[in-house]
Amino acid sequence: MANFACFLALKPSFNVRAYTMRHFKDNVGFRFVVVALLLSGGLAFLTTVALARSPQRVRTGAPETQPPNEISSAPWFFSARSLQVNAGNRKAVAQFYRDNYVPHDKVHNGWSGSTTGCNPGKNSDAYDSATLQNLKYYRAMAGVPTDISFDEKYNRHARAAALMMEAKNDLSHGPGPDWPCYTDDGKKGAGSSNLCLGCVGPTAIDAYVQDSGVSGVGHRQWALHPRQRVLGNGSSKRANALYVFGDWRPEEEVAHIKKVAWPPEGFVPYRFGLDSGHPWSYTVFGSDEDLKNAKVSMTMNGTAVAVQQEEGRPDLLVWYPTGLPRATHENDYNRPKQDVSIQVEISNAVVDGKRTTLRYSVVFIDPAAVLAEENSEQVDGDTDNDSENNPDNVPDSETDDSEENQVAIDSTLNGPLLQAIYQGKVGPALDLLSRGADPNARYQDRWTALMYAAYFGHTKIVEDLLRRGADASVTLEGWDARAMAKSQGHDAIATILAKATNQSVQVPRTRGLSPPAP
C-alpha cells in the first residue's frame, strides 16, 4: 500500500490533510487539533486538521436510510463484483491482497478538470474503479458488505468538492461563497464527505482507513460502516472527496454484524497495522454494548506491547501500539521475516448487557513471502511428479497437458488477469490462468488477454494462453494479436501466433492501437 508518510515524501511541497465529518441536522461542531506526520527523511509537516464532532454511536446516528434507485457501476471489471476473503486462511489472505489491492500509482488519475475556469472534470473510469476496488478490499478484510458502488448523483457533488479544495489548497466541510470555484454542488459534497488534500483515488482510501493522528478514526468509521451501499467519489489532481451520505442499506440487513475491528482478527498484510503510528480500533453496535470504560492490552510472543489508548466511547475504542517500531522506508515498513502474532485483550467491556473480556489475535504476514512459499512447494511437488510420470524427460511443451487446460472458468479472476498482464506481472498472470481465469478474457469487449500479452511481449503468457485455448483470430479495428506483437518488435511472439493460426502476419496500414489500462 502507499504509506501515508511515503506519499508525503514523494511530494514534499504538499501537506497531507484529512477531514472526517459527522452529519447533524441542526448544527455542526468542529474542534481543531495539530498533527505531526513523520516523514521517512526525518522531516515533519504540521497540519491543522478540523474534525467534525464525533458520533456517540455510529449506527444510530447514521443518515436516514434511502433505498438505492439504480446502483451504477463503472465499465471496469471490479466495479460490479462483491469481494470476500477467509481471514483465517493465510494463503487466501495473501492471494486476496495480490489479486485485489490496488497499490499506489498503478492506475493513472486521468483528471480532465482544471481550477482555471473551475471545471470539476472527471477521472478516468479505470481510476474511479480502482478507488472503489480499494474500498471494497478494506471492507472485505473488515468483514462488512462489499456490494457497494459509486453513483453519478453523488459523484458530481464529490468532484465539485474536490475541485474547491484543490482551488483553495485547503479543506473545510463548510466552505463559504468566497471559496474559489464555489458551487452549491461543491458545498453539499464538502459537508457530506471524507476529505483529503494531498492524497487522491486509491491512495485516499488508504489514508481514510489508516487515519493516523485523527482522534476517533472518523474516516475509517465511515469507510468501513456496515450500512454503506451507494457512495460518491471525486478526485482532482491533489484532493479527494468520498461522499459517505449516499444510499444506505437497511439496518436489519447488517444486524448480524456486532463489531468491526481494524486491523481485523485473523491474518493481515503487515502494512495494515504493524506500526506504532497506525491506530487500532474496535467498534461495537447495539444498545447493550459499552466500551467507554474498557481497557486494552496487547502481547506479542508472550511479551506485553505498550499501548496508548484514546478516551473511550460507548461504541468505540481506539489505541496506538506504541510498543511496536515505527514503520518507515528505512526499515522496509516493518516487513516481517516470519509471521508476527499479536494478541489483543479488551477488559471491562459490556457486551449484550454483561461485563466481559474480549480476546482476539491478529497475525501479520508478508503476502509476497507467503505466496513465494506456496510456489516453492508447488515447484518441488511438480519436480517430483515430473520425474515419476515423465521418465524420458520430455519437455513440458510436448507432454499432454489436456487435464491442466480443463480448469473450470472463474470469471471473477478475469479482471485481475488482465491487470496482471498489463502490469507485466508474469508469475501472477500464469497463476491466475492456472486457477481458472478465462484465456479469452476481454476488457470492455475489446482488448483480449492475448492482445495485451502480445503487445507487451510476454512470451510465457502468450504460450500459456494459447495452450489453454485463447483465440488468436480475434481482431480489433483490423488488428489481431499477431499484428500487435509485430508492430511492437516482438517478432518471436508474432511467429508463435502465426503458427497457431496457420496464417502470415499482416500489420494493418491503419494507425496503431494504444492499450488501455484495465
In a domain, 211, yes or no: yes
Asked if 201 and 69 sit in the same domain, the reply is: yes
In a domain, 396, yes or no: no
Asked if 247 and 274 sit in the same domain, the reply is: no
Structural domain ending residue among the three candidates 367, 394, 419: 367
pLDDT (tens digit per residue) in 111-133: 999 999 999 999 999 999 999 99
CA angle (348, 350, 353) in 5-degree steps: 145
pLDDT (tens digit per residue) in 84-110: 888 889 999 999 999 889 887 788 899
Asked if 239 and 321 sit in the same domain, the reply is: no
Instruction: Give the residue, 514 or 387, on which the prediction is more confident.
Output: 514
pLDDT at 479: 85
**Rounded distance between C-alpha atoms, residue 163 and residue 479, angstroms:** 40
Name the pLDDT band for 512 (thresholds 50, 70, 90): low
Q: Rounded mean pLDDT of 188-210?
A: 95
Q: Does residue 232 contact residue 144 with C-beta atoms inside 8 Å?
A: no
In this model, does residue 451 exceed pLDDT 70? Answer: yes
Most confident of 36-45, 239-248, 472-481, 503-512: 239-248
In a domain, 340, yes or no: yes
Instruction: Give the residue, 10 or 272, on which the prediction is more confident.
Output: 272
pLDDT (tens digit per residue) in 342-358: 999 999 999 989 999 99
Q: Does residue 176 contact residue 85 with C-beta atoms inside 8 Å?
A: no
- pTM for the model stands at 0.65
Q: How many Cβ atoms sit within 10 Å of the Cβ of residue 10?
A: 11
Q: How many domains does the chain have?
A: 3
Asked if 294 and 239 sit in the same domain, the reply is: no
In this model, does residue 177 exceed pLDDT 80? Answer: yes
Asked if 350 and 471 sit in the same domain, the reply is: no
Q: How many Cβ atoms sit within 10 Å of the Cβ of residue 148?
A: 21
Helix ranges, 143-183 (H) = 152-168
Instruction: Give the residue, 309 or 398, on which the prediction is more confident.
Output: 309
pLDDT (tens digit per residue) in 222-274: 999 999 999 999 999 999 999 999 999 999 999 999 999 999 999 999 999 99
Quote the domain boundaries for residue 514: 410-518
Asked if 114 and 198 sit in the same domain, the reply is: yes
In a domain, 182, yes or no: yes
